Amino acid sequence: MADVLALLDTGRWHWDTATGLVVVDEVAARLLGLPAEETTLTEPQVRSRLHPVDWNEITGVVRLAVAEGTLAEVRIRVMDDQGQVVRVVRSRSRPAFDPLRKAYVLTGTLQEVTEPTPGTPAGRRAVIGDWRRSREAFLLDAGRALAEAHSTQEVLRVAANLSMPGFSPDGLALFGVAGDQLTVIGHHGHEPGAEGSFHMPLDTAYPAAEVIRTGRAVYLSSPEQYKARYPLTWPLAERFGRQSWAYLPLVVSGRTTGAWLAAFAHPVAFTPDERSVLTTVARMLAQALSRAGTAESERALTEGLQRSMLPKLGPQRIPGMSVAARYVPTGGGLQVGGDWYDVIPLPSGRFALVIGDVQGHDVQAAGIMGQLRIALRAYASEGHRPDAVLSRASRFLYGIGEADPYELRFATCLYVEVDPVNGVLEVARAGHPDPAVRMPDATVLTRPTAGGLPLGIDPDADYPTTRIVLEPGETMLVCTDGLIETGGHDLDTGWQRLRGILEHHRGGLEELADALVQAVHGPCSHHTPGPLIDRREDDIALLLLSRQGHDRGHGTGQGLTGPSVRRTMLTVEQTEPERVSEARQHLRELLHDWCSPDQVDSAVLLLSEMLTNVLVHTDTDALLVAEVIGGREGRRMRIEVTDAGDDLPHRRTPGELASSGRGLLLIELLAHTWGVDPRGKGKSIWFELQELHEPDEPGAAARTGTGPSR
């Protein structure tokens, strides 16, 4: 293949825009005026050999060919070191775009063509053809770039980087109107800060003012022409040393909204073709500025609306506790949504944390969210208990749907009443994700809580309350599912990702809140002091509640105040036997860093036996208290299950086919120590395991059981 191309005097080249390197063979190198040998060039080295107008055409034609799936063909003038054209070559390629690297990859051919004699009809047609191809490629590129600009600053950046074929301006300015004054929206190539101090009456004899008054463009090809036509304002332009100026109207829907100045350091004749290009660019600039202005107004309106619906936390004065919150609306369109949070002072001296998610993330969802938030705050301020607050809120939301079927929505919600004195949390849940707790040693547990249907579905729904205790040094996270189920994650994998962030974070509460959002969606800030980030999936709301405490030590070491304790509690009710499975998972999370997996399996087995015995042999609920205690002799786990039954457990000798009666035998076999303690009305059965750092030996776990006599 290479021999055939060489016989046809055709060279081959390969260009990868990700690396910025161009590989040429012997023929292509010779056609570019280089030694006839295969070599690798950088983009600047190639560009220095080509006419600058043709380089602009290459980039535009490549983008067009990728968009249309066609060949990219372009005529290129090769220049020598003195800037003279030495030959004209034709390049053909089929470019491809790599979306992962965001780069173009091209392999093509290079062949010399005979340039028509200047002045002949063929020569004039060639020049016109080159100009038209360059103009079309430039306008296509400029139109795409301006269509993607979403703010006034982005429009200005695109305008500053426009490279027009053969007559690119080196200075530009965009003028607007404020009342009867001409103002500068932005500029490039002029003195910094000029836009802040420029104000001129529209009736002034100044080109931009005349363009806005008349709606007609002004072209000034020379300083003499400028000075003769606008002598009063000539000093404004004289100090910049430009040679030609074009002032064009920015027209939207038949109304002139501003003017665009393109200033040139070299003389420009402003031929009909050049004026056509400038006019087309001015129209695209006007449309882009109009879209950007509308989008900025909508963002300002919706962000103000969202801020007005959310509480301003500020420095919370909660004795012994700290609160941090974040809200990030979905990206694209109007940045409003149905997620919310609230912190409500209660008449009892306690306070309530509320977080919820109204179905949808549009203006209607935001409106319903605002109504629901006000209703919840009113019910809480009346002193109702958490279950009553959610029951009333559900009836309220159900009533909105009955009154207007078009506003039929449901909402998930988590309501937590907090006693800052003792850390007791009363949790009521309406279809919302469970809270998670980060312990002082960075262990993270999800806290299973009883719950009911989402608000607004059943006006008579009940919402049972779960009581948990936030120990000193612990931090509770509650959030909406937008923080969890993002980037292809479900609830399980999403929680695993958040657990990793919580476990490894070593900063304050505010830094932790930022880290949770940044890890999922990139840098962001509060809804109050900074801009909201652009997102693409679902709204986010999160609340962090931390109870202050002393350093309790980490790992298996000794803390400053004695042995470190990792503790969790869980209630399994008679009507919820499925929570035995939750308790097993809860214990595994508590023992996530335990050295012996066999001991963890043993502890989970014994816990399952103890809870099942309570549910089967009594008519009371079971309370699980699990602890990991670290001291000088190493760590040990203590698992205790308490119930209100009167009958004490006793050893039995089950038959070979018996389905029960082996609970105490298993505890005696697997636990290091165990016992049964009467507790007034009821009893507790417990066992302990000392952490083993060597592989377990069969039967070595428990040889010191104390039996049920305690």
pLDDT at 710: 35
- How far is 549 from 547, CA to CA, in rounded Å? 6
Across the range 448-466, mean pLDDT stands at 91
- Return the top range by mean pLDDT from 207-211, 327-331, 531-535, 554-558: 207-211
Percentage of the chain with pLDDT > 70? 79
- How far is 516 from 474, CA to CA, in rounded Å? 17
DSSP assignment of 481-516 equals: HHHHS-TT--HHHHHHHHHHHHHH--S-HHHHHHHH
pLDDT in tens, 252-271: 888 898 999 989 888 888 88
CB-based contact 584:603 (threshold 8 Å): no
> Taking 80 as the threshold, does the pLDDT of residue 83 lie above it?
no
pLDDT in tens, 655-671: 554 455 567 888 888 99
CB-based contact 425:469 (threshold 8 Å): yes
pLDDT band with cut points at 50, 70 and 90 for residue 167: low
pLDDT band with cut points at 50, 70 and 90 for residue 354: very high
pLDDT band with cut points at 50, 70 and 90 for residue 524: very low
- How far is 696 from 622, CA to CA, in rounded Å? 30
Across the range 174-183, mean pLDDT stands at 88
Across the range 552-573, mean pLDDT stands at 60
* Listed residue (546, 486, 436) closest to 328, CA to CA: 486
- Which helix or strand (DSSP H or E) is residue 611 part of? helix 597-617
pLDDT band with cut points at 50, 70 and 90 for residue 306: low
> Taking 80 as the threshold, does the pLDDT of residue 522 lie above it?
no
pLDDT at 606: 93
pLDDT in tens, 4-58: 666 677 889 999 988 889 999 999 999 998 999 999 999 888 888 888 777 777 8
- How far is 675 from 647, CA to CA, in rounded Å? 15
pLDDT band with cut points at 50, 70 and 90 for residue 364: confident
Q: Which two tokens stand for residue 209?
A: 């003012």
Q: What is the pTM of this model?
A: 0.57
CB-based contact 425:406 (threshold 8 Å): no
- How far is 32 from 14, CA to CA, in rounded Å? 14
Q: Distance from CA of residue 187 to its chain's centroid?
A: 32
pLDDT band with cut points at 50, 70 and 90 for residue 289: confident
DSSP assignment of 24-91 equals: E-HHHHHHTTS-SS-EEEEHHHHHTTB-HHHHHHHHHHHHHHHHHT--EEEEEEEE-TTS-EEEEEEE
* Listed residue (704, 679, 676) closest to 690, CA to CA: 704
pLDDT in tens, 367-402: 788 889 899 999 999 999 999 999 999 999 998 877
